Amino acid sequence: MKHKVSSTTSAVANEIAALRQATPADLKERWRALYCTEPPRRISRDLLVRALAYRIQEKALGGLKPSTRRLLAKVAAAASAHRPMRVAPQPTLKPGTVLLREWHGTQHQVIVREDGIVFRGKSYKSLSEVAYRITPAPSGRGRASSD
């Protein structure tokens, strides 16, 4: 059973939809064709269908960006070594940056420092903490501080 992965989105959608009606033998054969390996022995049907659907889309529409692949490889290596890994985006604000924001007629100034944020002379770890101090709570009770 030879399969050709189509490059059109509708053909890919049809190919993926057909996986749901395929027999276990057909799914395993499809795995061999797409991955050039034997399917895992104890894989559930649901996971098999999902993996095949991903591979079909990957071949037709392209895979992950190289930067994403590198990040995933780093995370996998850290997990294998039982090392914690922080996967947070790098901050884009440089120390010394001054941010101004007006909220309900009051202008607020925030200064970005190497070790965090300064607002009204007090240090905070993140802009979210400062926003929490400025904006009202969802329940309508204000949180604005008079620091």
**pLDDT beyond 80 at 38:** yes
Q: Which two tokens stand for residue 114?
A: 């190497």
pLDDT band (50, 70, 90) for residue 137: low
Give the Cα separation of 94 and 100 in Å (integer). 15
For residue 35, give the H/E element and its range: helix 24-35
Q: Convert the pLDDT of each residue in 64-101 to its tens digit.
A: 889 888 988 988 888 888 887 776 666 678 889 999 98
* pLDDT score recorded for residue 5: 44
**pLDDT beyond 50 at 2:** no
Report the percentage of the chain scoring pLDDT > 70: 82
> Going edge to edge, which strands form the sheet with 106-113?
98-103, 106-113, 116-119, 122-124
